[in-house]
């Protein structure tokens, strides 16, 4: 039988070290996560519902029962990104520029002069988190009842479609968030490798599974205080910036997925960008692995290939059958709606989505 007191003592022992090596950090994180799970300290985690009133494209939108893996699909300008942005406000605030163009509080009302309300519900939380903007432009973030012991908003990670890579980078303190454009990915990978952190090997293992021709990843120090990421592709060691776009847009997703702890939520814009179909198939295996570790992924897409691969993996029992597709639409008046589609019945999904994406609106 597991004893919470044993875990607590182990936590205190690890915390007594002034500086933890990476493998000690891994042990510490696992013990803390296990302790929180058994003691109930992590009472709230994972987004289960997103309600939007008068927020950007949405006059009123309610997406309920969000599972571990959820995909938002629809035409351009139907508010898919706005849903992810609303979920990201609680961590990133009113970020106004790309790659997370939420906007200032006075810019987000769908209808000017009316209150904005964003309600986020979390698994295990007794009440939702309200993000509001009043008619005068003042804003607030408050729990609508008892507040959880730890805010799950801190466990949300947003990855933009504008992912990027760097030829070389300066060393920064270790972080478990790859950043909005994946800008911290390269520094994280360098430190994981330097510290013999097993998560580095996991990153490489998943890259190898993606059929991108990569056999290993090297992390040389190019000059004092600066490093580089050089994957070995078909026998050639080449800087990551010189790799195909698929490699360096995929690496932040894999890295964040492996850094995320149980109960965390990752918001990803267009995860399939620059990937061929076989790699998309394997990406779904990675997302399913995240779900097995209790990590939630909510993403946007326009890709029928991405949805087809999802359906095929569900049919094979490799992706949870509870995974969901939310089809966002906008009528002639501009009103948005979200319909829940069954990804396991792809023939029906494909027709609905294809007809919508290809249709000419009046």
Q: Would you say residue 33 lies in a domain? A: no
Q: 69 near 324, Cβ under 8 Å?
A: yes
CATH code at position 281:
3.40.50.300
pTM of the model: 0.88
| Helix or strand holding residue 131 (H, E) | strand 129-133
Range of the domain at 304: 45-159+249-358
- Asked if the structure places residue 25 within a domain, the reply is no
Contact 158, 144 (CB under 8 A): no
Task: Tell me if 304 is assigned to some domain.
Answer: yes
The verdict on residue 27 lying in a domain is no
Coil vs helix vs strand at 117: strand
Residue 83 has pLDDT above 90, yes or no: yes
Q: What is the pLDDT of residues 265-300, one digit of tens each?
A: 999 999 999 999 999 999 999 999 999 999 999 999
Which DSSP state fits 204? H
For 78, half-sphere exposure in the C-beta direction (CA atoms, 13 angstrom radius) is 23
Distance CA 116, CA 111 (A): 9
Which band of pLDDT confidence, cut at 50, 70 and 90, is reported for residue 109? very high
* Rounded-to-10 torsion of CA 131, 66, 252, 77: -70
Q: Judge whether 225 lies within some domain.
A: no
| Closest C-alpha among 115, 113, 111, 105 to residue 85 | 105
Residue 31 counted as domain residue: no
More confident site: 5 or 299: 299
Q: How many domains is the chain built from?
A: 1
Report the C-alpha gap between 158 and 100 in whole angstroms.
9
Q: Is residue 118 part of a domain?
A: yes
* Average pLDDT along the chain: 88
Mark out the alpha helices in 96-244 (DSSP H runs).
Answer: 185-194, 198-209
CA distance 40 to 47: 18
> Torsions phi, psi of 80, nearest 5?
-65, -50
Confidence of residue 358 (pLDDT cuts 50, 70, 90): confident
pLDDT digits (tens, 9 = 90+) for 114-159: 999 999 999 999 999 999 999 999 999 999 999 998 889 889 999 9
pLDDT in tens, 155-187: 999 999 999 999 999 999 999 999 999 999 999
Residue 13 lies in a domain: no
Let me know: does 153 contact 90? Beta carbons within 8 Å.
yes
């Amino acid at each position: 039988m597991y004893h919470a007191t044993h875990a607590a003592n182990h936590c205190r022992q690890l915390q007594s070290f002034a500086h933890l090596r990476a493998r000690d950090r891994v042990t510490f994180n696992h013990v803390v996560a296990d302790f929180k799970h058994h003691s109930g300290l992590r009472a709230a985690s994972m987004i289960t519902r997103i309600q939007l009133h008068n927020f950007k494209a949405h006059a009123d939108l309610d997406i309920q029962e969000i599972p571990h893996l959820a995909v938002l699909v629809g035409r351009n300008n139907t508010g898919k990104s706005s849903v992810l942005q609303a979920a990201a406000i609680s961590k990133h605030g009113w970020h106004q520029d790309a790659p997370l163009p939420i906007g200032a509080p006075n810019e987000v009302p769908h209808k000017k002069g009316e209150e904005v309300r964003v309600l986020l519900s979390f698994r295990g939380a007794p009440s939702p988190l309200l993000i509001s903007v009043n008619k005068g432009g003042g804003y607030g973030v408050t729990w609508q009842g008892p507040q959880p012991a730890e805010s799950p908003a801190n466990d949300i990670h947003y990855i933009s479609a504008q992912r990027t890579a760097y030829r070389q980078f300066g060393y920064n303190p270790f972080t478990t968030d790859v950043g909005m454009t994946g800008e911290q990915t390269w520094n994280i990978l360098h430190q994981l490798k330097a510290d013999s952190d097993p998560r580095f090997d996991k990153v490489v293992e998943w890259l190898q599974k993606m059929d991108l021709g990569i056999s290993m990843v090297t992390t040389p120090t190019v000059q004092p205080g600066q490093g580089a990421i050089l994957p070995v592709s078909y026998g050639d060691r080449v800087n990551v910036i010189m790799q195909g776009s698929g490699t360096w847009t995929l690496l932040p997703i894999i890295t964040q997925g492996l850094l995320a702890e149980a109960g965390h939520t990752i918001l990803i814009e267009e995860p399939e960008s620059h990937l061929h179909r076989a790699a998309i198939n394997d990406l779904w295996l990675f997302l399913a692995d995240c779900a097995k570790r209790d990590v939630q992924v909510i993403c946007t897409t326009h890709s029928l290939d991405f949805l087809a691969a999802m359906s095929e993996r569900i049919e094979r029992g490799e992706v949870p059958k509870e995974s969901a597709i939310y089809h966002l639409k906008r009528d002639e008046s501009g009103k948005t709606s979200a319909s829940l589609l069954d990804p396991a019945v792809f023939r029906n999904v494909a027709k609905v989505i294809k007809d919508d994406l290809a249709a000419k609106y009046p």
